[in-house]
Amino acid sequence: MKKLLLCAVLIGLTTVLAARADQKDEDAAIHKRYDEWTAAWNKHDPHLLAALFTENGDLINPFGKHAEGRQAIEKFFETEHTGTGPMAGTAYVGNIESIRYIARTIAIVDVAGEVDGMKGPDGAAMPPFKHHVTWVAEKKDGKWMAQAARAFAPVPPPAPAPAPAK
């Protein structure tokens, strides 16, 4: 009986350790993919940016614009990153804040990002644009791909209501 219990504990421990090692590998692969995203942004390469999405992936940027499907996403990034697009000449930095696996091949990735070098409609330099991205990642053919990306800019909460007069 003791041997059976010891075997069960060892098998359970081995399984847990293997799962943790596997998660570390997957975390590293997601971080690598995010580094590819950052590099593609800073090269202003719409094709590379779109290639990080699944064929039927979609994105909503922090300004509420939506693109669905890799071709539409590439066209979207072309408009944003070339010529006088709002992201032309910008620099992107960010970091992954969390990765949550909801299945072996699906993860929710939360990213804090910042875009520097944006210009307003009048051409004047804008302060760095801080935002958050929630990325639904799907592992396809050994690579983590964006199935969906939702970016938003946090806004300050409304001011509290004034205290009632006494």
Q: Please tell me the predicted confidence (pLDDT) of residue 59.
A: 97
Residue 19 lies in a domain: yes
pTM for this prediction: 0.81
Q: Please tell me the predicted confidence (pLDDT) of residue 17.
A: 37
Q: How many domains does the chain have?
A: 1
Q: What's the chain look like in SS3?
A: CHHHHHHHHHHHHHHHHHHHHHHHHHHHHHHHHHHHHHHHHHHCCHHHHHHCEEEEEEEECCCCCEEECHHHHHHHHHHHHCCCCCCCCCEEEEEEEEEEEEECCEEEEEEEEEEECCECCCCCECCCEEEEEEEEEEEECCEEEEEEEEEECCCCCCCCCCCCCC
Q: Please tell me the predicted confidence (pLDDT) of residue 24.
A: 93
Residue 163 lies in a domain: no
State which residues of the chain have pLDDT below 50. 5-19
Residue 162 lies in a domain: no
Mean pLDDT of the chain: 88
The domain that contains 90 carries what CATH number?
3.10.450.50
Q: Please tell me the predicted confidence (pLDDT) of residue 19.
A: 44
Residue 161 lies in a domain: no
Q: Please tell me the predicted confidence (pLDDT) of residue 164.
A: 85
Structural domain containing residue 46: 2-152
Residue 128 lies in a domain: yes
Residue 34 lies in a domain: yes
Residue 158 lies in a domain: no
Residue 25 lies in a domain: yes
How confident is the model over 106-117, as pLDDT tens digits? 999 999 999 999
